[in-house]
């Protein structure tokens, strides 16, 4: 069937909103926030019951005039594997979450 990026994006957006919604950037909370976003996203993706190995990365940075750039590249089977990126921001911080889904072939 292939990886459903829209479904994964919705899951991740909900997790990011639950963790960062209403918060202002605070360096002391970054480790907890990123761990929670990654753990919650993985837990919800696994609950879908699909035959994938998931890799989830998360970066939270203080919002500044300098911007924030990221890139990734994969070499895999594009018919079954997939990726999605969620960008989230508020007035004080930016968050980028990447999900990589690699099909488990039995």
Provide the pLDDT for residue 19. Answer: 98
pLDDT score of 67? 81
Distance spanning both ends of the chain, measured CA to CA? 15
Question: Phi-psi region for residue 82, left (φ > 0), alpha (ψ -120 to 50) or beta?
Answer: beta
How many domains would you assign to the chain? 1
Q: What is the CATH number of the domain that holds 26?
A: 3.30.1140.40
The range of the structural domain enclosing residue 54 comes to 5-103
Q: What is the pLDDT of residue 56?
A: 98
pLDDT tens by residue, 46-93: 999 999 999 999 999 999 988 888 888 999 998 899 999 999 999 999
* pLDDT, tens digit (0-9, with 9 covering 90-100), for 8-34: 999 999 999 999 999 999 999 999 999
Task: State pTM to two decimals.
Answer: 0.93
């Amino acid at each position: 069937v292939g990886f459903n990026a829209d479904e994964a994006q919705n899951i991740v957006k909900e997790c990011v909103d639950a963790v960062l919604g209403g918060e202002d950037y605070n360096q002391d909370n970054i480790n907890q926030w990123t761990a929670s976003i990654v753990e919650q996203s993985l837990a919800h993706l696994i609950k879908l019951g699909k035959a994938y190995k998931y890799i989830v990365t998360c970066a939270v940075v203080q919002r500044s005039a300098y911007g924030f750039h990221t890139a990734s590249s994969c070499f895999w089977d594009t018919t079954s594997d997939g990726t999605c990126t969620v960008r989230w921001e508020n007035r004080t911080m930016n968050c980028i979450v990447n999900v990589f889904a690699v099909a488990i072939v039995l």
